[in-house]
Structure 1
Amino acid sequence: MSSPTLVDLRYFEASVRTGSISRAARELRVTQQAVSYRVRGLERILGLDLVTRSPFGITPTEAGEALLEASQEVLGAAERLDVLAAALRGTAAEASSFSVAASQTIASHLLPGWVMALRNSRQQRGAASVAVGLRTANSEEVIGLVRDGTVDLGFIEQPDVPRDLGSAIVGEDHMLVAVHPDHPWASRDGIPLDELAREALVSRERGSGTRATFESAVLREVGTVAAEPALVLATEAAVRSAVATGVAPAVVSWLTVHDDVRLHRMVTLPITPDAVSRPFTAIWRGSSRDLRQGARELVSIAAAHPGAAGH
């Protein structure tokens, strides 16, 4: 099955938000036919009726309401990615560059601040500015990109770091259990790790640092393997959406869900009896002397601004 594009979601979101195909078309500066075609195409792709059409405009169905919220999250993330990419590209006049691959939590929630701090630091010192190229992947994929020389520097979120790579821990992230507000666990003070191990959870794919951290903790502390997931998804946004719609609980980083908790889309609980945490680690080939100057500075800034460690 094909997947919706950002354009599909943008046209659908504008149509539902404005309540009218014609108003959405004016806002997007396209024809009404183009908007209508995209909305109907999205319904075909998903196999859902998303809007009710009438001479007075359109109104979202129940499925359309749910998709509207998810679409706004995805479009917001895309806008943030554009801003980040613009900051990382810098200008053509920048004197040097290096490339970074980061796993999703770091790329979405920490790296933009680190890069901005790097740029500000170099500007204050009168040093040449740097252009930074970014790739986002899961932790195992980041390791591969660093190992084969595709990128100069990587940031990963899993407990195990390959011994053939240079590394430095730059922070620590504490994992929590996220549940829908109506889930039976929502009123509890915490969830024991052995109980979590038996539960079918919403999970990231294998290779993700979040999944590796949880499964390693279960094997180490409980002495068994975690239950097969109820649902496996490739992005943190998809995991959050599944939890918020009540599919199943998930083990997540607090960094990824604090907005959802604030908006009462989900509840988070500690893992008991001992917290489950994971390091945020910078990795590179060779020794730190082999890193470009800008990359070395970024590692130092990341260690000085750990982000999640305080939560």
Structure 2
Amino acid sequence: MTRPETNRGGDEAGAGRPPGSPLAHRVPDLGALELLLAVARLGSLGGAARELGITQPAASSRIRSMERQLGVALVDRSPRGSRLTDAGALVTDWARRIVEAAEAFDAGAQALRDRRDSRLRVAASMTIAEYLLPGWLIALRARRPDTAVSLLAGNSAVVAERLLAGEADLGFVEGLSVPSGLDSVVIGHDHLVVVTAPAHPWARRRRPLAAAELAATPLILREKGSGTRQVLDAALGGLARPLIELSSTTAVKASAVSGAGPAVLSELAVGEELSLRRLVTVPVDGAALGRDLRAVWPTGHRPAGPARELLSLTRSGRS
């Protein structure tokens, strides 16, 4: 029985390539296809090379590589120029569709990037939101005036919830540890200080306050879940029942200024009150009240676009 004649070019093109091998190994890359389209349009390999910004030897090498990959001759070269073979003309038609589809893909991807870059959703714990973020956002606006920024201020637990729910692009926390499911980088450092109104008995102490006495004293505190509360609780090994429990740094500070009782606040938050003697600091022995300030984001999703730029601004000023 006589075997039917097969297409030799097809045999060569498929040689050594099992049908299930990756498509990327069997199809020329976009750069090669764009070069072939330029040769077809200009009728010159040298002109196509100049248009694409490569040397003529590099263009010749790329065409030969594509011919070997496909197993057919694509371009006839002569002193008068370059013309497509019949197979080359057919491949050029297919290449045009692929390049047009790639251009549509690129335009769609750019639209997605533009949409991403048009907004930035930030979630930050209260101290950072009130005393650091405003300056960072002003600097970001100078670089990206068309980016609309929304800010959600809450405690560290709330920041983690918003990030994990996809409701924020970048977060900032000030607790002892990184919430589960988030990656982080340290962007600065902070220190907690014990403060009271000048009339409080602690304001007249000549010796530092013992950590045990601080732990046993009802204080004006932030709510559970706040970074400030976490650091203080860990440093003292537990806290007495709060004198007052409030949900913002500003509220805690105002209560302390009013003379309601002692409070523990970030030194970032009380600079003006200390300089005006509306509050005074009370030294403490035996308690480590330092903490790291961190930028956080969902694990595996490194900040991009305006979120990445904001992150770079916070780190550029890190002490």
Q: Within 2, Cα distance between the matches of 1:266 and 1:99?
A: 34
The corresponding residue for 1:182 is 199
The corresponding residue for 1:295 is 307
Tell me if the contact between 1:94 and 1:130 (Cα under 8 Å) persists in the aligned partners: no
Kindly provide the CA deviation profile for residues 205-259 of structure 1, in whole angstroms up to 9, marking residues without a partner as x. Answer: 111111111001112xxxxx21111111111121112111211101111111111
Matched, 1:231 2:244: yes
Question: Where do 1:262-277 residues align within 5 Å?
Answer: 262-277=275-290
Tell me if the contact between 1:94 and 1:129 (Cα under 8 Å) persists in the aligned partners: no
The corresponding residue for 1:47 is none
SS at match of 1:283: strand
Tell me if the contact between 2:188 and 2:292 (Cα under 8 Å) persists in the aligned partners: yes
Matched, 1:104 2:126: yes
Q: 1:288 to 1:304 in 2, by over 3 A?
A: farther
Which of residues 249, 258, 263 is equivalent to 1:245?
Answer: 258
Tell me if the contact between 1:177 and 1:191 (Cα under 8 Å) persists in the aligned partners: no
Q: 1:260 to 1:166 in 2, by over 3 A?
A: same
SS at match of 2:270: helix
Which of residues 249, 255, 275 is equivalent to 2:268?
Answer: 255
Q: 1:202 to 1:95 in 2, by over 3 A?
A: closer
Shift of 1:288: 5.2
Tell me if the contact between 2:235 and 2:287 (Cα under 8 Å) persists in the aligned partners: no
Q: Within 1, Cα distance between the matches of 2:152 and 2:313?
A: 19
The corresponding residue for 1:196 is 214
Q: 1:275 to 1:218 in 2, by over 3 A?
A: closer
TM-score scaled by length of structure 1: 0.61
The corresponding residue for 2:232 is 214
Q: Within 1, Cα distance between the matches of 2:295 and 2:198?
A: 36
Larger Rg over CA atoms: 2
Q: Within 2, Cα distance between the matches of 1:272 and 1:301?
A: 35
One-letter amino acid of the counterpart of residue 174, structure 1: H
Report sequence identity in percent: 40
Which of residues 159, 172, 192 is equivalent to 1:155?
Answer: 172
Shift of 1:186: 0.8
Q: 1:95 to 1:208 in 2, by over 3 A?
A: closer
Q: Within 2, Cα distance between the matches of 1:163 and 1:211?
A: 18
Shift of 1:161: 0.8
RMSD: 2.1
Shift of 1:190: 3.1
Kindly provide the CA deviation profile for residues 117-142 of structure 1, in whole angstroms up to 9, marking residues without a partner as x. Answer: 2233x26xxxx742221111111111
SS at match of 2:293: strand
The corresponding residue for 1:60 is none
> Aligned pairs, how many?
204
Q: Within 2, Cα distance between the matches of 1:161 and 1:240?
A: 26
Q: Within 1, Cα distance between the matches of 2:211 and 2:258?
A: 23
Which of residues 141, 151, 162 is equivalent to 1:145?
Answer: 162
TM-score scaled by length of structure 2: 0.60
Q: Within 1, Cα distance between the matches of 2:241 and 2:128?
A: 26
SS at match of 1:185: helix
SS at match of 2:269: helix
One-letter amino acid of the counterpart of residue 199, structure 1: T
One-letter amino acid of the counterpart of residue 268, structure 1: T
Worse-matched range after superposition: 267-276 or 180-189: 267-276
Q: 1:116 to 1:94 in 2, by over 3 A?
A: farther
SS at match of 1:212: helix
Shift of 1:106: 0.6
Unaligned runs of 5+ in 2: 1-114
Q: Within 1, Cα distance between the matches of 2:292 and 2:153?
A: 18
The corresponding residue for 1:278 is 291
Tell me if the contact between 1:288 and 1:296 (Cα under 8 Å) persists in the aligned partners: no
SS at match of 1:299: helix
Kindly provide the CA deviation profile for residues 16-53 of structure 1, in whole angstroms up to 9, marking residues without a partner as x. Answer: xxxxxxxxxxxxxxxxxxxxxxxxxxxxxxxxxxxxxx
Kindly provide the CA deviation profile for residues 160-206 of structure 1, in whole angstroms up to 9, marking residues without a partner as x. Answer: 11242111111111000011101121133532322211111110111
Q: Within 2, Cα distance between the matches of 1:161 and 1:286?
A: 11
One-letter amino acid of the counterpart of residue 280, structure 2: V
Q: Within 2, Cα distance between the matches of 1:95 and 1:150?
A: 15
SS at match of 1:282: strand
Q: Within 1, Cα distance between the matches of 2:128 and 2:197?
A: 24
Question: Where do 1:53-132 residues align within 5 Å?
Answer: 96-120=118-142, 122=143, 129-132=146-149
